[in-house]
A and B are shown apart, each in its own frame.
Chain A
Amino acid sequence: MDDGILNPTGLLLLIALTSAPVALGVGRRNAAWTAPAAAVMAALGVVVTLWGWVAGESQVNLAWAPSWNLRFAFALDGLARLYALLATGIGLAVVLYAGRYIPLHLAHQKRDQDEVVPFFGLLMLFMGAMLGLVMAQDLLILFVFWDITAIASYLLIGFDQDDLEARAAALLAILITGVSAVCLLIGALLYHAEFGTFSLPNLQRQVGTSDWSGAPVAAGLILLAALAKSAQVPMHFWLPRAMAAPTPVSAYLHSAAMVAAGVFLIGRVYPLIALEQWLLDSLLVIGFASMVVGGVLATTRTELKQILAYSTISQYGYVVAMFGMGGKTGVGAASFYVVVHALAKSALFLTAGAVTEATGEKRLARLGGLRRSMPALAVGSGAAAAGLAALPLTSGFFKDELFFKAALERGEGVAALAVAGAALTIVYIGRFWMGIFLGPSRSTAHVVPPVLVAPVVVLGALVVLTGMIVGPIARLAEGAATVSYGAAVTIHPAYHLDARAENLMTLATFGLGGFLLATRRFWHSLASNAGRAGELIGPARLFASSVAGLNRASTFMRRTEVRDLRGRVATILAPAGFLVVAAVLATPTRGVFQIGAVGRNDLPMVLVLTAACGAALATALPRDHVSMALIVSGLGYCLAVVYAFFGAPDVALVAVLIETIFTILLLGTLALFPPKTLEHRSKEPSEHQHLRRDGFVAAIAGLVAFVVAWSALSRPAFQESVAIDHARLAPSAHAKDIVTAILTDFRGLDTMGEITVISIALLGIAGLLRRGRLL
């Protein structure tokens, strides 16, 4: 590996970071050129990834914040290569398709054609985030790109902003994938806390040799994020809802990229997961559960994209299960499966879009017989469907062959489940394709632009071509599996004309699938009822009611809080007060709360403090606001004098200055009120009915403050030690004035935060008084 930036990794990273700005920049000049610009970026991505394949592994590894052990580390390794090729290659097909589809889509909705610019900007943002994600060698960087994909997908799913369903679907998607992303962050932080590094290669080396008990928790949390992203049971329900997105988005995000990111993450952290057998076992269970739930529901749906969405859940269930089966066979088969599935599934999504564009129909029941009016589409999508159903002469055949082989290694029960799952695939994919293209014609099809059909044909041709020349995909999958497994993995997909177990299982699958397809009307109602039961008591319902409950709780909290000024103050002060009381109660009180001696020298101090107390009490008396403001500032001056007595001239100086400037600001602000309002408020009778309650609250608050101050001041040991440290260190900071050294050096970061707040406050004032103009 050569370090530096001028290598395929660096170049691909450059494409990742510039693709969205380029698309947006071109689009700003001329909206019609946005899609071509995006296509060029995606094509460049394909070329660079292929170059990286030929040139071998390369990396970019720059120091970012070395003192925190953070490096800007990316590598275009075997795993990254596979997913980068999917993200850019299928991205290219989708961009070409969307270049025609999105303007039509906008025209149908009577929207401005310039909205293509943000669409392709977001699509490129997503592609860039995927590229960054797959190359990241550092968990923290990986998390950042992971979140960018979630945000881009949120905006893309909700691209039809006026559609309430699309917006709700987008929110659901970002809630599920965004909240679970926090698990990824927590997992990463757990690893960092134990091993002091986010770097994946380092972690893989260190975790294997340590006996850290937190390892399964950290790996499990990361796994949780991956499974939510891949729409696995029970976090699968966001994906069918996300079909509210425009079809190119579904084809890209929900076949090749966003959901693939989940299984990518499993592949990336596989060495960390594989250390725990129970994690692998749970992957197996979740994978099979998703396979069955997604598969059964896919047979019951009527909308084209819904069928494909549930199919995606099921298909990624395969991949997750294969990772769970583990071993070289399982990991190799999983990597191979991802490629074939992405090719076939994106083609089918694009088919659904083209069919809906041609007929205006979304439901399977109203479609049929389109083989006559759309022959090219029928053939292209037929090849893709055959690939997904694992028919021979397509690369899909090998994906199932490898799947069965891995399942056999894990036992006969797993193998039987695998056959059942594969048979389900045949049923819903067969139903999808036959329902659209075979049978009697039920709708009229308009001619669609060729560019809506061409990507389907190309992807379908790829599925068939790779079924005959399987080498390239096999090598791609081997590269990825080698990275995931941590040792060289080879896979040998081939046609074997003998009675080996995989072939028998394939035959059984075809038989079972054909049988189920033929007898669908007998078990259809059973499957629908299962689906309906799932809607009633399933995780989607649980999620919806918990969100609704959270919403109600937050509304209640807010209502209580903003009812009046008292409520607002109380919601902040009361919890803070309780915490402080709890802290006082929890600390030992031995030797505290002593009454010290008051000598003659303390007399001036006592006098000033008396004045301060008087001022504090006096604030409650006047009714007009200016007097109140003046008395409050008088109290501040008294305290400044106290600081001066304590021998803290720095603090006293600051206190006087602050008091002065804030009195002026307060009076100035009061002057901005309409005089009548202030007069009216000050003449209002005081609320006598609350006098007793207010007095009680005030007494309690005062008592607590008194006790807290007493206990804090009579326990000066800790504070002194910090102060002594500061005094000792001041000369090393070249300072003779300790307070200034504390402000600018020892506690400089605090000061930094405070002055940032001040500048934001200045902007706020400018926004309120001068419509944001500063000068």
Chain B
Amino acid sequence: MSDGTGLNAREQGVTTVLTQAIARVLLVPIFMVAVGILVKGYADVGDGFSAGVIAALAVVLQDVTFGHRVVDRMPLVRVAPAGAFLGLTIALLVAFVPLLRGEPIMTHAPGPGAEVIHLGTLELLTAVAFDVGVFLLVFGFAVGAIGMIARAHGRRPGPA
């Protein structure tokens, strides 16, 4: 039953060299896809939410292949749960700062009809900042939750 998760697969000798090689090779491209989806969110399919889940899946793939002990050493994984709250803060700021300026909650800038600065596909909008907040939050949640479950699983005494 316990290897149904595969979270500690390496310690249990389930993964092979092939899966390990593929997981290692895929890590950076998956992150690239995630960032691409995030950046293109306002112009094409995808948004911060999808990007966050995709990036988290990259980490989960490492978890499954190498076990959480290896993955926990990745700096990105260590800060991810804190990043979730950074994301929430960004989203809250985007939502509530307009109140201070006397505008309704969640008013995005620049407003309709105003000029937007483009960096390639990326548009500099507060809506995009909000989307980045969602990305950080979703990534942090998924990585944090799965990491915590994996660690709890590692601690649990059980049949090897």
Residues of A within 8 A of B (CB): 63, 65-67, 626, 649-650, 653-654, 657-658, 660-661, 664-665, 667-672, 674-675, 678-679, 732-737, 739-741, 743-745, 748-749, 751-752, 755-756, 758-759, 761-762, 765-766, 769-770, 774-775
Chain B: interface residue count, which band?
Answer: 35 or more
Distance, CA A660 to CA B79, complexed state (A): 23
Contact A649 B140 (CB under 8 A): no
* Interface mask (B113-131 → A, CB under 8 Å = 1, otherwise 0): 1001000000101011011
Give the residue name and chain of the A residue nearest to B145 (CB). Answer: A765
Distance, CA A544 to CA B50, complexed state (A): 55
* Interface mask (B13-46 → A, CB under 8 Å = 1, otherwise 0): 0000000000000000000000000000111111
Of residues 107 through 160 on chain B, the ones whose CB sits less than 8 Å from some CB of chain A are: 108, 110, 112-113, 116, 123, 125, 127-128, 130-131, 133-134, 137-138, 140-142, 144-146, 148-153, 156, 158-159
Residues of the A chain whose Cβ atoms lie less than 8 Å from the Cβ of B138: 755, 758
Taking a contact as CB atoms closer than 8 A, the residue among A657, A667, A668, A752 that contacts B50 in the complex is A657
Residues of the A chain whose Cβ atoms lie less than 8 Å from the Cβ of B102: 63, 66-67
Contact A759 B137 (CB under 8 A): yes
Contact B4 A744 (CB under 8 A): no
Give the residue name and chain of the B residue nearest to A765 (CB). Answer: B145
Q: Beyond the given A671-B4, A735-B43, please list 13 additional residue pairs across the A-B interface where CB-CB is below 8 A.
A: A65-B99, A657-B57, A661-B57, A664-B5, A665-B146, A665-B149, A668-B149, A734-B125, A749-B95, A755-B134, A761-B145, A765-B145, A769-B148
Distance, CA A626 to CA B6, complexed state (A): 12
Residues of the A chain whose Cβ atoms lie less than 8 Å from the Cβ of B123: 734
Residues of the A chain whose Cβ atoms lie less than 8 Å from the Cβ of B56: 661
Give the residue name and chain of the B residue nearest to A743 (CB). Answer: B47
Contact B47 A650 (CB under 8 A): yes
- Closest CB pairs A-B (n = 3): A732-B112, A657-B53, A668-B149
Give the residue name and chain of the B residue nearest to A67 (CB). Answer: B104
Distance, CA A343 to CA B82, complexed state (A): 56
Answer whether A752 and B153 are a contact pair too, CB < 8 Å, given A653-B46, A736-B44: no
How many CB-defined contacts (below 8 Å) exist between A and B? 176
The main secondary structure of chain A at its interface with chain B is helix
Distance, CA A254 to CA B45, complexed state (A): 64
Contact A671 B7 (CB under 8 A): yes
Q: Which of B43, B54, B148 has the most CB of A within 10 A?
A: B148
Taking a contact as CB atoms closer than 8 A, the residue among B50, B79, B127, B153 that contacts A741 in the complex is B127
Contact B127 A733 (CB under 8 A): yes
Residues of the B chain whose Cβ atoms lie less than 8 Å from the Cβ of A672: 149, 152-153, 156
B88 at the interface (CB under 8 A from A): yes
- Shortest CB-to-CB span from A661 to chain B, Å, is 5
B60 at the interface (CB under 8 A from A): yes
Q: Which of A650, A657, A775 has the most CB of B within 10 A?
A: A657
5 A-B pairs with C-beta separation under 8 A = A661-B57, A732-B112, A745-B106, A759-B141, A769-B152
Residues of the B chain whose Cβ atoms lie less than 8 Å from the Cβ of A678: 1
Distance, CA A660 to CA B130, complexed state (A): 24
Residues of the B chain whose Cβ atoms lie less than 8 Å from the Cβ of A670: 1, 4-5
Distance, CA A215 to CA B88, complexed state (A): 43
Contact A667 B4 (CB under 8 A): yes
B49 at the interface (CB under 8 A from A): yes
B91 at the interface (CB under 8 A from A): yes
Distance, CA A650 to CA B49, complexed state (A): 11
B84 at the interface (CB under 8 A from A): yes
Distance, CA A610 to CA B79, complexed state (A): 44
Distance, CA A761 to CA B145, complexed state (A): 9
Taking a contact as CB atoms closer than 8 A, the residue among A63, A665, A667 that contacts B145 in the complex is A665
Contact A671 B127 (CB under 8 A): no
Residues of the A chain whose Cβ atoms lie less than 8 Å from the Cβ of B78: 775
Residues of the B chain whose Cβ atoms lie less than 8 Å from the Cβ of A759: 84-85, 88, 137, 141
Contact B49 A654 (CB under 8 A): yes
Answer whether A765 and B144 are a contact pair too, CB < 8 Å, given A668-B153, A669-B149, A736-B43: yes
Contact A664 B43 (CB under 8 A): no
